[in-house]
């Protein structure tokens, strides 16, 4: 009997909580806005011809080539998955450059014309150059009464991207990316690549994919999963109806109810509806309006919960979408 009463008490307590959690999907605007004027976009890999007569020269060529392919593959995959480019299609091309200039010169428009003609594209995202430099070292480390080994593998990468708008004969972007990726390990035996550490080819391939991933973040953000609070006070049929719209992603229908209730003479209910209007505004990409609604909720009922945490989140989204 005591256990049954506890169940009833918990059910009653849960029903008195005036809000529910709702799962959402969203994305922020890219920091680089392309606005392509053609449906097809070409991703171009540039291989730079060099002396491969020595083993070291051949290895250097292979590592850079593997990294370059991984970079453009990662970029293409992430762009295709982004909602920003949901109406675009991507194709991959590659060329071998024979120029030996120390400066990475732009490609000639005649070359770009021939590349674009194959796929009827007018925008080319080109990995102009990518250089990886792996560094490995291992040595013993003496502890108080035993010896172990420490080893590390670093891959320094240098990449340069260009975006060509072939139809307008303009270079839309030139972007340099540099970084160093590191792996390290301790072991009782000597630490070497391919054993305790990634293999050199594997590490360089990963570095290339990482380059493509970081560049894609600036062009094409992916969908993010999130969670938000929605006020659904117990026993209010209109708030229940609005919530049923919200969970289906029908934010305009939900907002039409919340906006009416935001003028209720019941200040607590009006504050809760105003809070929900902030969420509806966020879901429609109107972040400044969302902040206005949140301030309205706080003015109507200062003690309403979740105001401060949601305000912080909205201000972050405003910054991310400037």
Distance CA 196, CA 204 (A): 16
Q: Is the per-residue pLDDT at 11 higher than 60?
A: no
Q: Which of 45-54, 159-168, 239-248 has the lowest mean pLDDT?
A: 45-54
* Higher-pLDDT residue of 206, 218: 206
In this predicted model, which residue has the larger pLDDT, 6 or 45?
A: 45
Confidence of residue 46 (pLDDT cuts 50, 70, 90): very high
Per-residue three-class SS string for the chain = CHHHHHHHHHHHHHHCCCEEEEEEEECCCCCCCCCCCCCEEEEEEEEECCCCCCHHHHHHHHHHHHHHHHHHHHHHHHHHHCHHHCCCEEEEEEEEECCCCCCCCCCCHHHHHHHHHHHCCCEEEEEEEEEEEEEEEEEEEECCCCEEEEEEEEEEEEEEEEEEECCCCEEEEEEEEEEEEEEEEEECCCCCECCCECCHHHHHHHHHHHHHHHHHHHHCCCCEEEEEEEECCCCCHHHHHHHHHHHCCCHHHHHHHHHHHCCCCCHHHHHHHHHHHHHHHHHCCCHHHHHHHHHHHHHHCCCCCCHHHHHHHHHHHHHHCC
Report pLDDT for 209: 97
Q: Is the pLDDT of residue 13 over 50?
A: no
Q: Which residue has the higher pLDDT, 31 or 126?
A: 126
Given a cut of 70, whether residue 304 has pLDDT beyond it is yes
Pairing of the two strands 40-48 and 123-142: parallel
Calculate the CA dihedral of residues 256, 261, 263, 265 and round it to 10 degrees.
170
- Please count the residues of the chain: 322
Q: Which two tokens stand for residue 150?
A: 């420490």
Give yes or no for residue 15 having a pLDDT over 60: no
Position 12 pLDDT exceeds 50: no
Q: Span 44-55, mean pLDDT?
A: 89
**What are the tokens at 194?**
């391919």
Can you give the pLDDT at residue 154? 97
Q: What is the mean pLDDT of the chain?
A: 89
> Is pLDDT of 276 > 50?
yes
- Provide φ and ψ at 256, rounded to 5°: -60, -30
How does pLDDT run across 158-208, given as a tens digit for each residue?
999 999 999 899 999 999 999 999 999 999 999 999 999 999 999 999 999
Count of beta carbons in the 10 Å neighbourhood of residue 23: 9
Per-residue pLDDT band at 4 (split at 50, 70, 90): very low
> What span, in angstroms and rounded, lies between the C-alpha atoms of 97 and 129?
10
pLDDT value at residue 310: 94
8 A C-beta contact, residue 232 and residue 240: yes
Mean pLDDT of 74-87: 91
pLDDT higher than threshold 90 for residue 274: yes
Residue 322 pLDDT exceeds 80: no
pLDDT value for 36: 72
Look at residue 9 in the predicted model and tell me its pLDDT: 38
Cα separation, 36 vs 85, in Å, equals: 9
pLDDT at site 142: 86
Helix axes 55-81, 200-219, angle to 10 degrees: 40
User: What's residue 119's pLDDT?
Assistant: 81
The percentage of the chain sitting over the pLDDT mark of 90, rounded to a whole number, equals 69
Give the separation between CA 267 and CA 55, rounded to whole angstroms: 78
Provide the token pair at 262: 């935001």
Tell me the average pLDDT across 219-242: 91
16 pLDDT tier (thresholds 50, 70, 90): low
């Amino acid at each position: 009997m005591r256990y049954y009463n506890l169940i009833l008490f918990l059910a009653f307590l849960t029903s008195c909580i005036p809000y529910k959690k709702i799962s959402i999907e969203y994305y922020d605007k890219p920091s680089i806005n392309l606005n392509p004027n053609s449906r097809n976009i070409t991703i171009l890999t540039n291989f730079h011809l060099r002396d491969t007569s020595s083993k070291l020269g051949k290895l250097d060529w292979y590592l850079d080539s593997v990294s370059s392919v991984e970079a453009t593959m990662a970029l293409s995959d992430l762009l295709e998955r982004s909602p920003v480019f949901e109406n675009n299609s991507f194709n991959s091309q590659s060329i071998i450059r024979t120029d030996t200039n120390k400066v990475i010169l732009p490609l000639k428009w005649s070359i770009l014309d021939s590349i674009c003609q194959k796929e009827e594209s007018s925008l080319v995202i080109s990995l102009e150059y990518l250089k990886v430099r792996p560094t490995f070292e291992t040595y013993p480390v003496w502890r108080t009464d035993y010896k172990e080994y420490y080893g590390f593998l670093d891959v320094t990468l240098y990449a340069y991207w260009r975006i060509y708008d072939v139809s307008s004969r303009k270079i839309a972007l030139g972007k340099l990316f540099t970084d160093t990726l590191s792996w390290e390990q301790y072991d009782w035996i000597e630490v070497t690549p391919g054993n305790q550490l990634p293999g050199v080819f594997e590490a360089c391939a990963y570095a290339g994919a990482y380059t493509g991933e970081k560049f894609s973040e600036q062009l094409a953000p992916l969908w993010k999963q999130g969670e938000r609070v929605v006020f659904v006070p117990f026993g209010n049929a209109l708030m229940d109806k609005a919530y049923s719209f919200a969970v289906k992603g029908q934010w305009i229908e939900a907002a039409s109810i919340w906006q009416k209730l935001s003028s209720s003479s019941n200040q607590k209910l009006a504050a809760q509806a105003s809070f929900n209007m902030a969420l509806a505004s966020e879901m429609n990409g109107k972040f400044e309006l969302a902040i206005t609604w949140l301030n309205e909720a706080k003015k109507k009922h200062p003690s309403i919960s979740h105001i401060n945490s949601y305000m912080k989140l909205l201000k972050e989204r405003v910054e991310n979408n400037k």
